[in-house]
Structure 1
């Protein structure tokens, strides 16, 4: 259960090596979170992440989880929830892909879609149902401003995030009134290893800034969080821009 200050005491991080996810875990541990489950494919990086969180004073467990194997999600995640209530689930896995390459390789494009959308839908439904049975908890899903309008430079990734964003909003409506809080997080360009070497977009941010926004959103029980907040009016304008004009933008 959340403590008297509303901070989650237990966190399930789907995407246990995600830089944004781990930044959020570290921030929440500083706010009294005491148990963290790191779910991801077994790897030295996942084990190292668990050790680092333990050094901060949390109990950190590694859970073998594969976004591309939805047939195992119910069993794997069910075991986590069977160990006790989960106060917050952060769905932070995803791949950026390589737009130029993936346009020429449909199988690679499908892998982006399967990871970012199909795998996330499966995991979110399993966790949403478990939280509903608990009668409390938060499900936080990392979307992206790229999902607001498909752009020539990354429409494969953007379309996968657009689908995930719409799905999460619908799931939030479906779970409304049962004690479960669902929050969509829409970061802009985040400086991580995944984006290293790519041209930096305006209003670029950091994993720590996204983590701060997530923590604040959990406290306020927000439904949508933009990071940074200035992206909200910017993306509203882009979304409403006439298509002939939009095509001329260097996006």
Structure 2
């Protein structure tokens, strides 16, 4: 069960090698979390992530999970929930794709869309039903500022995140009053090891997103921006006339 501040004792991370998800897990472990499940494709990276979290004190387990194989999701996630209640599910998997390549290779674009949207819908619904069955818990969905308005430079990725964002908002409404809390997190460009050299304006870090997630859980927020200033910026961009929006270097 969650503690009095609303922070989880047990955590399931869908996307167990995500730097942002792992930063969030570390922050929650420093508070109250004592059991962590990392779900992802079996790999040395997944086992390494689990080993590093174990050094912080909690029981950490790994479970095979492939976003592109929805038929396996019920069994994979059911295994976790069968072990006991899960206070928080962090849906953090996704791929950015390569816009220039994916425009020329539709099959690659479909793979990005299936990972970021179809796989997330499957895992999100299965997790939500399990949380509802146990009568409590939170589902935190990592969306993106890219979901707010499709940009020429990343409309394939952005459209998938837009679909995921709408799905998660609707799921939150459907679960209102059931004891299950759904929170959508919209970070800007996250400066991870692989993206540090191409940081964008109003970008953020995995650690900053983790802080925003913790604060959102304490407040039982439904939508969280990281950084918070993105809320105003994207509101302006969303309402720009299309002709003017096309002229922006986005």
Common topology (TM > 0.5): yes
- Residues 13 and 37 of structure 1 are in contact (CA less than 8 Å); yes or no, is this contact kept in structure 2? yes
1:29-78 deviation line (CA, Å, top 9, x unaligned): 00010000000000001001111111000100000000000001011101
- Residues 151 and 158 of structure 1 are in contact (CA less than 8 Å); yes or no, is this contact kept in structure 2? yes
Separation (CA, whole Å) in 1 of partners of 2:46 and 2:242: 43
Following superposition, the deviation at residue 196 of structure 1 comes to: 4.3
Q: What's 2:214 paired with? A: 215
Structure 1 runs not aligned, ≥5 long: none
Q: What's 1:242 paired with? A: 241
Following superposition, the deviation at residue 208 of structure 1 comes to: 0.1
Q: What's 2:64 paired with? A: 64
Q: What's 2:31 paired with? A: 31
TM-score, length-scaled by structure 1: 0.98
1:136-172 deviation line (CA, Å, top 9, x unaligned): 0000000000010000000000000000000000000
Q: What's 1:76 paired with? A: 76
Separation (CA, whole Å) in 1 of partners of 2:96 and 2:57: 32
Corresponding pairs, count:
250
Separation (CA, whole Å) in 1 of partners of 2:144 and 2:37: 24
SS in 1 for 2:60: strand
TM-score, length-scaled by structure 2: 0.98
Following superposition, the deviation at residue 203 of structure 1 comes to: 1.0
Separation (CA, whole Å) in 1 of partners of 2:180 and 2:111: 30
SS in 2 for 1:193: coil
Do structure 1's residue 136 and structure 2's residue 131 form an aligned pair?
no
Following superposition, the deviation at residue 201 of structure 1 comes to: 1.7
Q: What's 2:205 paired with? A: 206
Following superposition, the deviation at residue 3 of structure 1 comes to: 2.0
Separation (CA, whole Å) in 2 of partners of 1:6 and 1:218: 6
Following superposition, the deviation at residue 192 of structure 1 comes to: 1.2
Separation (CA, whole Å) in 1 of partners of 2:9 and 2:38: 14
Separation (CA, whole Å) in 2 of partners of 1:6 and 1:167: 24
Structure 2 runs not aligned, ≥5 long: none
Separation (CA, whole Å) in 1 of partners of 2:17 and 2:82: 23
SS in 1 for 2:141: strand
Separation (CA, whole Å) in 2 of partners of 1:175 and 1:18: 27
Distance 1:236 1:141, change over 3 A: same
In the TM superposition, 1:150-229 aligns within 5 A as 150-198=150-198, 200-229=199-228
Superposition CA RMSD, Å? 0.8
1:56-107 deviation line (CA, Å, top 9, x unaligned): 0010000000000000101110110010000000000000000000000000
Moved more, 223-232 or 186-195: 186-195
Do structure 1's residue 2 and structure 2's residue 31 form an aligned pair?
no
